[in-house]
Amino acid sequence: MDDGSFTMQDEMRRAFAMLSGKWKLEIMWLLHQRVHRFGELRKGIPGITQHMLTAQLRELEADGLVSRTVFAEVPPRVEYEMTAKARGLGPTMEALTAWWNEYGKTLPEKPIARGRKKTPSNRLGSA
């Protein structure tokens, strides 16, 4: 690697890094289905916070995988969609769906709840 060349493993590491993160694949899955507004994404991903959704969308946008369109309306409307570059991941998502349909029921179930749980000790105004 001293000659400045990259191996396929290096390239795959870069690709994995673009999609790594607790929520990015779920965001991409929803956007693979259709264009979504911010609120729709938030409702569609149980447990994600507004802050985390914003951060993940910004990273995906910076990587050229998601485009953000702001409409000059009151109240403002913002839509997110996959870019053409990200649409190239379509066959991968379809392969993952096929894999899940075949093997998903054989995997141990894990709890779906994610994110911070509300307890009396972390609510505002609790003593």
CATH number of 12-101: 1.10.10.10
Token readout for 124 is 């505002």
The pLDDT, as a whole number, for residue 6 is: 76
Burial of residue 66 (CB within 10 Å: 0-12, 13-18, 19+) is: buried
Residues 6+ apart with CB under 8 A from 77: 37, 70, 71
Low-confidence residues of the chain: pLDDT under 50: 1, 119-127
Cα 8 from chain centre: 24
The pLDDT, as a whole number, for residue 4 is: 63
d(CA 28, CA 85): 12
Whole-model pTM above 0.85?
Answer: no
Q: Where are the domains of the chain?
A: 12-101
